[in-house]
Structure formats: C-alpha cells, structure tokens
C-alpha cells in the first residue's frame, strides 16, 4: 500500500490515516472476493469512485458492471416550471 501524503503529521494522525487506508482496502478486497465478475483491484477502485453517486444495488453492479443503472420512477419525469412573475 502506498500513501503519498498525509493530511496530518503527528504520530496519532499518521496512525489513524494508515488504519483508515487499511480498512478501506479490506472493504474493497472483500467486495472483489464476493463479486462473480473478475475484477482487478485497481479497476474496482477506479470504477467504484465513478459509481459513488449513482443510485443502484452494489452487488448487482459488482456482478454485472456494464449494465446501465435502473431508471428511478418519477425522478426524471417531473417537469419544473419557473415563475418569473413577482
């Protein structure tokens, strides 16, 4: 694991950041193991960053990553009108 820079430089801050990085790597590695798609760890991390703000089931996406997200009912159908009369 490579940590390029630290946000804090005290001993406690560095230890906390190393622990947080290890926990994050453990979570991503467990997702990689649980998935039926053959992910490389770097590709999984990169695509997880892209998918953070997409509303979809995580494990469905892990097993079939190249399908579009399901449409959210009613979210894209609403039309907003602007009323400039004041």
* Domain count along the chain: 1
pLDDT band at 41 (very low <50, low <70, confident <90, very high): very high
Task: Please give the pLDDT value at position 83.
Answer: 73
DSSP per-residue string spanning 62-83: HHSTTSPPPPPTTTTT------
What global pTM score does this model have? 0.70
**Average pLDDT of 20-34?**
94
**Helix (H) and strand (E) counts for the chain?**
3, 0
pLDDT the model gives residue 72: 62
The tens digit of pLDDT for each residue in 51-77 reads 888 888 899 999 999 888 777 655 555
User: Which structural domain, as residue segments, surrounds residue 61?
Assistant: 1-86
CA-based R_g, the chain, Å = 20
């Amino acid at each position: 694991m490579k940590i390029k820079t630290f946000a804090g430089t005290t001993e406690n801050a560095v230890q906390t950041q190393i622990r947080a990085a290890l926990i994050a790597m453990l979570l991503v590695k467990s997702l990689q193991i649980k998935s039926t798609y053959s992910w490389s760890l770097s590709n999984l991390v990169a695509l997880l960053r892209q998918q953070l703000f997409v509303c979809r089931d995580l494990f469905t996406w892990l097993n079939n990553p190249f399908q579009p997200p399901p449409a959210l009912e009613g979210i894209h159908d609403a039309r907003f009108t602007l009323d400039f009369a004041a």
